[in-house]
């Protein structure tokens, strides 16, 4: 199979949502339909010992939330699917932002009871920045939720994207009978099951077909006929190009926990979702069909297996063919690296692979050479763009609780920061260390992992910091003068970049006004 065939075969996407919208459950059901797992787990059940396939960190199992991106690959209808399940909790949004740089499209899960929530809006903003194609799955139709039309209007208004229903629910809650696929013109009647794939599909091209009333009853038939007529008149016909350009989101309805509507979503996704796309580096546009291999690291995870202190870098293949043990140039370090243990993922299960193609996610065992954003390739191509760190929202100073474990603490902090769990800023004055995060829960995760993975303990003490701003200037002398004059408020990030640590919004604005030659950046990529 040549590279063009390999590219056409692949679909790489991420699943995003607000916490508790059912994202991890949908992920499992997609894996179930793809034959990748035989039985779904249960994230929050205390009666059984299984957990969601994609949640493997101990703290995730305890809390029933996803805090780290999981990668899963499976085959479905002749296609190789690479699925990235992201953290739903807002405190881990930055991991999700970075993951979105590694996918070609997104499935957004919305709870039919709660509708569009704040975190959903934030995640959608990141998708809009890159015009990422989005499909929407409105979940939990087995519950009494909001009117489907109201939900569609809210998605268009709050997420700034047009919608096109591709399936439609027949009833809701106790009266929920299934979904009608507008895409395949078929009626799907389901019997509720959380673990097995059950349901009958009736192909109905004409909604006047008497079989429809026989299957679902007189009143639901009349309502469905009216709804489909309204959809045809109120929404533009589906156009794949507007979906691929990120202008229109196809919408599916269902209940992931009961398998309602999941197969229809997956079948349509296989048909219309984009194959691996071109990517931009500092020097050029990289087409996936190019002969030479290239890829970038979008995530690093230490200690995936607590019994073995391993460190794995997640690499997205962008072009050419990746071959295990082949030397590839590390663009930042300007030296060749070999990887003898390249792996493919099925959540925490890994298997050694000999090759990978554009769109694939490869796990590289690493001893500390790789960082998030690093580019590997055959030639000098510069680094891939669009993998920034964002200015944190909460800052706390690190206090070592055990001087005898200083080395363990330093190592743990370094590795966790390389993973992108949070950001570390070291002040020039006094070598104070401050950790910045998007949400408060991250501090708890850091403490938990330091204790259980590195045998180190620390406290986090609140600080009066408002914003971390990366600084630069076209005039090197002016930049040095600024650093000298504000040395009490100057820190370096883990990569040695200069950062101005502002204490208040008004003070930051005053400093920006007083130093017009200094550029202040709210992301690390500039």
394-439: pLDDT as tens digits: 999 999 999 999 999 999 998 888 877 789 999 977 779 999 987 7
188 class by beta-carbon count within 10 Å (0-12 exposed, 13-18 middle, 19+ buried): buried
The per-residue pLDDT for 407 is 94
Local structure of 315: helix, strand or coil: strand
Domains for the chain: give ranges and CATH numbers. Answer: 3-272 (3.40.50.300), 279-377 (3.40.50.300), 394-521 (3.30.70.3280)
Alpha helices in 164-274 (DSSP H): 210-216, 218-234, 240-244, 262-272
Average pLDDT over residues 118-141: 87
Compute the residue count for the chain: 526
With 60 as the cut, is the pLDDT of residue 54 above it? no
Three-state secondary structure readout of 180-193: EECCCCEEEECCCC
**CA–CA separation, 286 and 277 (whole Å):** 9
**Which is more confidently placed, 166 or 366?**
166
pLDDT band at 50 (very low <50, low <70, confident <90, very high): very low
Please say if the pLDDT value at position 154 is more than 80: yes
Residue 171 has pLDDT above 70, yes or no: yes
Question: What is the band of 86 on the pLDDT scale with cuts at 50, 70, 90?
Answer: confident
Residue pair 406/361 in contact by the 8 Å Cβ criterion: no
User: CB neighbours of 322 closer than 8 A, spacing ≥ 6?
Assistant: 293, 295, 315, 342, 355, 356, 357, 360, 362
CB 114 within 8 A of CB 44: no
User: Rounded distance, CA 230 to CA 226, Å?
Assistant: 6
Could you report the per-residue pLDDT of 329-364, keeping only the tens digit for each?
999 889 999 988 888 876 446 678 889 999 999 989
């Amino acid at each position: 199979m040549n590279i063009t065939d390999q590219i056409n075969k692949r679909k790489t996407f991420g699943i995003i949502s607000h916490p508790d919208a059912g994202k991890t459950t949908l992920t499992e059901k997609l894996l179930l339909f793809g034959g990748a797992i035989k039985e779904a787990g249960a994230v929050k059940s205390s009666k059984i010992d299984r957990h969601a396939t994609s949640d493997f960190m101990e703290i995730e199992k305890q809390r029933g939330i996803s805090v780290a991106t999981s990668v899963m690959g499976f085959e479905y209808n002749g296609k190789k699917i690479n699925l990235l399940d992201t953290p739903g909790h807002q405190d881990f949004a930055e991991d999700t932002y970075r993951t979105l740089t590694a996918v070609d499209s997104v499935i957004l899960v919305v709870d039919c009871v709660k509708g569009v929530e704040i975190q959903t809006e934030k995640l959608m903003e990141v998708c809009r920045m890159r015009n990422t194609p989005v499909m929407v799955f409105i979940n939990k139709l087995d519950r009494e939720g909001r009117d489907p039309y109201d939900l569609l209007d809210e998605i268009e208004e709050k997420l700034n994207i047009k919608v096109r229903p591709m399936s439609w629910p027949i009833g809701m809650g106790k009266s929920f009978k299934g979904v009608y696929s507008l895409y395949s013109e078929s009626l799907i009647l389901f019997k509720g099951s959380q673990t097995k794939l059950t349901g009958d599909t009736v192909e109905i091209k004409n909604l006047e077909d008497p079989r429809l009333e026989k299957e679902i009853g007189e009143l639901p038939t009349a309502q469905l006929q009216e709804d489909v007529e309204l959809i045809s008149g109120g929404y533009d016909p589906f156009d794949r190009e507007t979906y691929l350009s990120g202008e229109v989101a196809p919408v599916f309805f269902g209940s992931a926990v009961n398998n309602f509507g999941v197969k229809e979503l997956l079948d349509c996704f296989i048909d219309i979702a984009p194959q691996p796309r071109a990517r931009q580096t500092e020097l050029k546009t990289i087409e996936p069909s190019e002969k030479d291999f290239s890829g970038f690291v979008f995530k690093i995870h230490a200690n995936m297996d607590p019994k073995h202190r391993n460190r794995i870098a997640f690499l997205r293949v962008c072009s050419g063919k990746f071959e295990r043990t082949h030397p590839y140039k590390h663009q930042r370090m300007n030296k060749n690296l070999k990887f003898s243990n390249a792996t493919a993922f099925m959540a925490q299960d890994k298997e050694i692979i000999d090759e990978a193609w554009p769109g694939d996610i490869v796990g590289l065992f690493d001893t500390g050479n790789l960082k998030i954003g690093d580019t590997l390739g055959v030639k000098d191509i510069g680094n891939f763009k669009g993998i920034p760190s964002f200015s944190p929202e909460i800052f706390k100073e690190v206090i070592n609780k055990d001087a005898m474990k200083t080395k363990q603490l330093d190592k743990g902090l370094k590795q966790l920061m390389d993973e992108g769990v949070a950001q570390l800023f070291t002040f020039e004055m006094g070598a104070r260390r401050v950790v910045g995060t998007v949400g408060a829960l991250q501090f708890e995760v850091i403490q938990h992992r330091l204790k259980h993975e590195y045998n180190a303990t620390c406290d986090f003490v609140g600080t009066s910091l408002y914003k971390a701003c990366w600084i630069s200037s076209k005039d090197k002398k002016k930049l040095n003068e600024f650093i000298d004059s504000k040395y009490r408020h100057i820190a370096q990030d883990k990569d040695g970049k200069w950062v101005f640590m502002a204490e208040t919004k008004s003070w930051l604005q005053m400093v920006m006004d007083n130093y017009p030659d200094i550029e202040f950046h709210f992301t690390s990529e500039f």
